[in-house]
Chain A
């Protein structure tokens, strides 16, 4: 039922239990994460759709941006890495695009989500509002964008004679993995950003560095040892490689890769959620 339904008598006494110390709060979080999210499902739906509408409202090209954005990036990368630096190989553009779409989702969610709780201060500071909702919204709207931009890749694959097989059935699995990683990281980032407002800038650099350290515009084989081992420890790198197995190489991702993505993702998620819960009650005062 309602979000504020939780403010019934017994719960409020729990919320304001006597003689509680301030910051960081160690208050019991009444409902589990998933029950909170389920209660807020319509709100999440509305906020995601608001996010998508706002992204395209007031722009001449509207929805076409979803498709244009990755194409423009791809054009620049092809020019720089393919033509200027001679890193190109057969169907380089498709290789780039197949990795970069998933990375754009990742970086977009992180950049937007780090600021999510600050940007949603009108809701958090206004009523007892489950702030985790704000963390899921950018990840979900990014997922919608990602899915909507896939047809470009699939059409280009066909045009350039790149055959795609049943491996694509793994796509939802990878997307779930990516969502878990994003939300897990955002539990940390968005929380830190409430208390340290300049964290967002640091986060931008981190994501940019990660872009170069992830095999998006180069191949894994091109990395010399021992760096290759180190790069492959990054779940993001493993994830991009798995996406490419599906969307470029017409194969299926390694099960060990998927397992690795999920283990890293779930650990981040669990740690992030604990961190978030520890500080959530102080949000109201810092916004």
Chain B
């Protein structure tokens, strides 16, 4: 097994909007013994699934159902409250796309830092850079500051950089939704290449048809719980039926 998750739970404590923690407020609260307006939200409740080598998992669910939280836990950015994650091999997460780019630096400089962050050596980066630029199709823009890029260009560059690392497990959050059709099919071809080499992909996407067609299995998260896990077409069909039902319920009688 490449990715194994067992009984994963994650709870966030957060403050109401406009009540972000400041030193001043904390001190004032301590002194006045006012009740702090902390709330908790169960982002993931008892999530379990497993994924073999060379498999591609699609994660579906409504906004706020815990998809991104799950990816961040897998990436090791968050710590689980409970449960166990075991991953064999190296991981490259591609989350919150393009936000890692500094607007004043050029695409080339940003890609370089990105790759260093992902652990690539400078030599390897020099070797890969041209390939990355070519794959991302951003052409001469590569030396322009990234503030001049469209969101699609940023994603293409970030994605090209991430796959050049060639990890054993690739975690992707909504990559496909920003690129155009041509780039999307290019990404899907790249995914196939990954799988053929026994690599594992976890893909969060709102594009249900893509998941149904391309993924081996799908995980449907609803309010932090696993609402369905199994062969992609079946799970996606169940998810879409549920969504359609919800829309019908909301419609005035």
A interface list, Cβ under 8 A from B? 1-5, 7-9, 12-13, 15-16, 18-23, 25, 27, 39-40, 42-43, 46-47, 50, 53-54, 57-58, 122-129, 192, 195-199, 202, 281-282, 284-285
Contacts and interface: CB of A to CB of B under 8 A. Distances in A.
A27 B79 CA distance: 10
Given A43-B116, A192-B23, 11 more contacts: A3-B117, A5-B90, A9-B88, A9-B89, A20-B80, A22-B11, A42-B122, A43-B117, A54-B105, A128-B75, A196-B26
Nearest to A200: B23
Interface of B: 11-13, 20-24, 26, 72-73, 75-93, 95-96, 99-102, 104-105, 109, 112-113, 116-122, 167
Contact of B119 (A3, A16, A281, A282): A3
B107 to A, nearest CB: 14
Contacts of B21: 195-197
A19 B82 contact: yes
A128 B109 contact: no
A284 B78 contact: yes
- Interface core residue of A7, A202, A285 (most chain B CB under 10 Å): A7
Contacts of A20: 79-82
Given A18-B83, A122-B99, A199 B77 contact: no
- Interface core residue of B13, B87, B89 (most chain A CB under 10 Å): B87
A129 B167 CA distance: 16
B25 to A, nearest CB: 8
A235 B36 CA distance: 39
B105 A42 contact: no
B24 to A, nearest CB: 6
Given A18-B82, A285-B78, A199 B23 contact: yes
Nearest to B119: A2
B129 to A, nearest CB: 13
B172 to A, nearest CB: 13
B86 A22 contact: no
A128 B93 CA distance: 9
A46 B88 contact: no
A125 B68 CA distance: 12
The 8 A-B pairs of least Cβ separation, nearest first, read A2-B119, A3-B119, A196-B23, A122-B100, A43-B116, A198-B22, A284-B77, A128-B76
A127 B90 contact: no
Nearest to B125: A42
20 contacts: A2-B90, A3-B119, A4-B92, A7-B76, A13-B84, A16-B86, A18-B82, A23-B13, A42-B121, A50-B113, A123-B117, A125-B72, A125-B95, A126-B77, A126-B93, A127-B77, A127-B118, A192-B23, A202-B23, A281-B79
Given A9-B86, A12-B85, A127-B77, A285 B12 contact: yes
B118 A2 contact: yes
A4 B87 CA distance: 12
Contacts of A19: 82
A18 B117 contact: no
B79 A7 contact: no
A5 B119 contact: yes
Contacts of B23: 192, 196, 198-199, 202
B91 A18 contact: no
A285 to B, nearest CB: 6
B80 A127 contact: no
A120 to B, nearest CB: 10
A7 to B, nearest CB: 5
B93 A127 contact: yes
B144 to A, nearest CB: 13
B120 to A, nearest CB: 7
Contacts of B76: 7, 12, 15-16, 127-128
Nearest to A196: B23
- Interface core residue of A9, A21, A127, A128 (most chain B CB under 10 Å): A127
Nearest to A21: B81
B84 A4 contact: no
B79 A16 contact: yes
Nearest to B84: A18
Contact of B81 (A8, A22, A42, A198): A22
B104 A58 contact: yes
A13 B109 CA distance: 34
Nearest to A47: B113
Contact of B118 (A4, A53, A196, A282): A4
A19 B117 CA distance: 29
Nearest to B167: A4
Contacts of B85: 12-13, 16
B195 to A, nearest CB: 20
